[in-house]
Structure 1
Amino acid sequence: MQADLLNHLQSNPISNMPVLGFFENYPLDKHVVYNKSLILIGTSDYSWAYLSVPEPNDLDSLLEKFGFESLYFANVEEWMIPQLTRNHRIEWKLLTNRYYLPEEIEVEPTDKASGPLDSSHVGYIYQNSAYKDFTSELYISERIARDISAGIWLDDKLVGWGLTHDDGSLGFLNVMSEYRGKGIGEAIFRTLIRGKLENQKPVFVNVEPQNKQSINLLKKLGLEFDRAVSWVKLA
């Protein structure tokens, strides 16, 4: 990424955490600038248009310059939706709340044994995912290869796991139903958080607003609410 774009994004690091994280993992294909606002396009599972718009009045002109070359948008705040859908409809939308770990918060390690995931776990993770409409085995395989992951095994069985998304956020947390209530999810999150901190990377998570159990866990670990953001596919 060009130094001027990187410096611009780093001037507001919390707002731009997913943008910085994505383009640390994937090449920048194209960018569009209007005043201090940006659309940056890169490809993971899809060609994603990441929005960084500190001034709402810039968005219409920014989208006009962009020309909707991609219909997949990330880091979308709710106030952006009317402009995005002026000439398009939403095919699907995944709304989440973003939580992040402030720099001064320390997270203690877990006493539960865990280990990293590998390619042999991809099919199992996908088959047990509640988000098959938003992911694929190829995406999961790539995320395991590119970043940290953690799994917990009991009775010779993988019973809980977590990894990261293409923007570096923690995600894919899942504990098999018969093993819930045993602190496995918390142990996995603690392991992932400490892995990110050891690599000197920001810790943030996107969680659906109705997932109160995960939100309570994030708050327990010291993460704070930042904002609501969506991934949106237009048509």
Structure 2
Amino acid sequence: MLLRINNKQLVMEFLSRNMPITLNIIGIINNLPEVEVYVDNLQKPNGVLVKRNYFHYIYTEDNNFIDKLDGFFTDGYYGFSGVEAGIADKIKTKLTADWENPCTLYWLKDNKVNIDLIKNTPQNVLIKDVEVIDQLYEYRHKGSLEAIKRNIIERPSSAIYVEDEIVCWCLVHEDNSMGIMYTKEKHRKKGYGIDVALDLTNKIIEAGKIPYLQIVNGNNKSRGLATKCGFEECGKVSWFGIVVGTPT
């Protein structure tokens, strides 16, 4: 049985011992204190499960913790975000998966960024451009406009503007991962992607955080950009959905 816990410090101590694979869970708890957090033991947890609306975040090295997912979910559809690949595979053997996006996790291990590589001067994303960003977002959905607005207001961002038009940008998600990067087609191959990535990485470091990102497998352009910016591969993770019972 999983138990809801309010002692976030104890949870953070557990998660901090298992970075970088737990960086997304640390980010979601820090940024969204209202999320529900569950453990198997209130004094000495062997795993952590965070519930955030449709999505869930989980980390454990104990198979018994995964067994405790039995009975946690009622009939319905549920998502899992950035779960370490081995844990994801174990969950999918117990519960029926209905979609999956395998990713590779990258982080800046030594928290050092070479801002001398920036050729154009980025600036923060202006809130007036939230609709432009949402319209061009690959994973646009019903709540993405509001989520992007919060990302711009509450976390670091970086963009290139040409004659007051936003042409390239990168944001930080609510789990503190870098993402939503995009360059408008006529402004590609000008190095803007590297500029905003390095600028945003530097802002994250200055804010006392660890820069990291999750790249969908097969996205070779993003992988190449991350490598150029000094990021190192540090694990395989998965975003996936499950179906429990017979949802109505």
Q: Tell me if 1:98 matches 2:105.
A: yes
Letter in 2 for 1:8: F
TM-score w.r.t. length of structure 1: 0.88
SS of 1:172's equivalent?
A: strand
Shift of 1:165: 1.1
State the 1:59 CA deviation: 4.2
- Counterpart in the other structure of 1:21: 27
| Aligned residue number for residue 149 of structure 1 | 157
Match of 1:217 in 2: 225
Cα offset for 1:88?
Answer: 4.2
In the alignment, the residues of structure 2 paired with residue 133 and residue 119 of structure 1 have an alpha-carbon distance, to the nearest angstrom, of: 19
- 2: distance between equivalents of 1:226 and 1:128? 29
- Gaps spanning 5+ residues in structure 1: where? none
Structure 2 unaligned regions, length at least 5:
1-6, 244-248
Deviation at 1:114, TM superposition (A): 1.7
- Structure 1 stretch 58-67 or stretch 192-201: which is displaced more? 58-67
Percent identity between the two aligned chains = 21
Indicate the larger mover: 66-75 or 18-27. 66-75
Cα distance, 1:90 vs structure 2: 2.9
Query: Does the Cα contact within 8 Å between 2:103 and 2:237 map onto a contact in 1?
Result: yes
The two structures have a TM-score, normalised by structure 2, of 0.84
The separation in 1 between residues aligned to 2:122 and 2:224, in whole angstroms, is 22
- Judge conservation of contact 2:60–2:87 (CA < 8 Å) in 1: no
Alpha-carbon distance between aligned partners in 1 of 2:188 and 2:162, rounded to the nearest angstrom: 12
- When residues 88 and 134 of structure 1 are mapped into structure 2, their CA distance, relative to the original with a 3 A threshold, is farther
The answer to whether residue 30 in structure 2 is matched with residue 30 in structure 1 is: no
Q: Deviations over 1:37-75 (max 9, x none)?
A: 22122x3xx3432111123x2343231263469712123
User: Is the 1:32–1:62 contact (alpha carbons within 8 Å) kept by the matching residues of 2?
Assistant: no
Shift of 1:95: 2.2
RMSD: 2.3
Please state how far the C-alpha of 1:140 moved relative to its aligned partner: 0.8
Please give the residue correspondences for 1:171-210 in structure 2 after superposition, counting only pairs within 5 Å: 171-210=179-218
Shift of 1:214: 1.4
Q: Does the 8 Å CA contact 1:39/1:66 hold for their aligned counterparts? A: no
Matches of 2:79 and 2:129, distance apart in 1 = 28
Query: How many residues are matched?
Result: 231
